[in-house]
Structure 1
Amino acid sequence: MKLVVTDGATLSGGGVSLERFSRYAQVTVYDLTPPEQLTERIADADAVLCNKTPIPAAVFDQCPKLRYIGECATGYNNIDIAAAKAHGVIVCNVAGYSTDAVAQHTFALILHDYSRVAQYDAAVRQGAWKQAKTFCIMPYPMQELAGKKLAVVGYGSIGRKVAAIGAAFGMEVLVATRTQPQNCPYPLVSLDEAFRQADVLTLHTPLTEQTAGMVSAARLRTMKPTALLVNTARGGLIVEADLAQALKDGTIAGAALDVLTEEPMGDTPLADLPNCTITPHTAWTPLETRQRLLALAEENLRCYLAGTPQNVITAP
């Protein structure tokens, strides 16, 4: 069997290796694959492993040998799932591997805004504390999380973890979700109500036709002027021009984003706004998280080859 890894540069290095897949197939690894070279590179492949490589419908017509795609991520909006199903290609994703890491990063972003650690560290390094007349300096206003309303949009594994951490901080947790979760200990509200009530609104929902652009000018106008918007899910959930205008106008106080619509970062209107913190899609990158990702991707491949595929996205 021939296995092609289309974007190995996003999966290997920094303490993890793709060598484990060699026990199952003849493996060819490309660091990155431009769209115009994808068909050529996987034309005779039986299986593909990808992370963010777009695999559109036309590729399936041109790659008749292809029978398996291992999506090395939880989200799979980069693959035309309908076309994969139509061609009998099994697509398996890796769910749950990054729950702890993304929840941790979500609160790193929230605490960055609420506790101002980076600003105070910079002030100390610039000599502000040495020059102080009192035992402390406090030019940057801080806030307590306790008592604030945390609106969690999406209640999958990451949303549940974020909600639990928020509750541990003493926040009042609200949940907005498309499905009716069982045994949810927090009040369920509509999406619009979540925007209206939130002191902190954090996104943990997949990018679909229904969720694309859900953070729009109309919804941002309903938020508190003191609110913080956090996105560690997918950049396309936000209309970036609308968010940039809301931040400039003071419609909301701030935003903290680990994802953007265009990645790597392009000419986004959110760049350089003082009340918008941006990290480069790093929430999933702790070493333990990436080790877990590849172990689960390997198990998906092993189960597929054994005739018992798991985590199948293309199941009827």
Structure 2
Amino acid sequence: MPAPRLSVLASRVRFEEKAIMSALERRGVSYDYLDSRSLSVAGNPEMPDWAEKLVLNREVGHFRALYAASALEAAGATVVNSCRATQVSGDKWHTSAALLGAGLPTPRTVLALTPQSALAALDKLGYPAVIKPLVGSWGRLVTRVTDRETSTAVLEHVEALPSPQSHVIYLQEQVPKADRDIRVLVVGGRALGGTYRRSAEWRTNVARGAVSERLPLCGDHADLAVAAAAAVGADIAGVDLIEDGDGRLIVLEVNDRVEFRGFQEAHGSHADVADAIAAHLIARTE
């Protein structure tokens, strides 16, 4: 019996991966599960193991996801999301550059190549501002700074970090907004729906306790989210939007390998993210 053409790559099988696998099974699709912790790939495009194979990349760790996508593509597989999409959306500066290149509205952003230059850049950017790591999720190590004294203290800690990448500083204005942001899920160039994510804290990450509420999606939300996903090259994406003080929509982030449990709970039967992903994968294999 021939091996399945579709694989799901993950090291942790969470709610999302279980839902996607169940959706594939309901549709009668044969697939195999690849545990990225035990995966090795020979970078040879003539290897028959990966030729004409489609791999859904659900690896939670950014660097392992990135190198898995690169190796699998080098061996002849098609990866969703692609290596390029993972590289761009997994790095905040690359995401900002892609959004700016596509002419999409995004907060004023500065890349400082040293902690010292970051301090001078913050003086020009203005306060309050946000210092973010280039790579990271769930709001970790994201710091709001309100004055030069606080910035100096934060940047001294950043300078002491061992990774050279940590010394490249991503700075962004803090956009005045309501106690919420907007998450729109995009699959295959189509916006499935949106949620408001509300929090008493200034960071509105569900992993930090934010509550998801269903948002009836309007054309502006959908169009901007689809354009943002296309800008980073992502088939599947969670696009974070915020509304500034004037109600203007701004793209904050684009997330590949997006978690959607909160979204699904907020939408119930109004949307089925896992089934939409399954349908997209089937279309890609065909």
- Is TM > 0.5 for Structure 1 vs Structure 2? no
Q: Which has the higher contact order (CA 8 A, sep 6+)?
A: 2
Normalized per residue, which structure has more helix?
2
- TM-score normalised to the size of structure 2? 0.37
- TM-score normalised to the size of structure 1? 0.34
Normalized per residue, which structure has more strand?
2
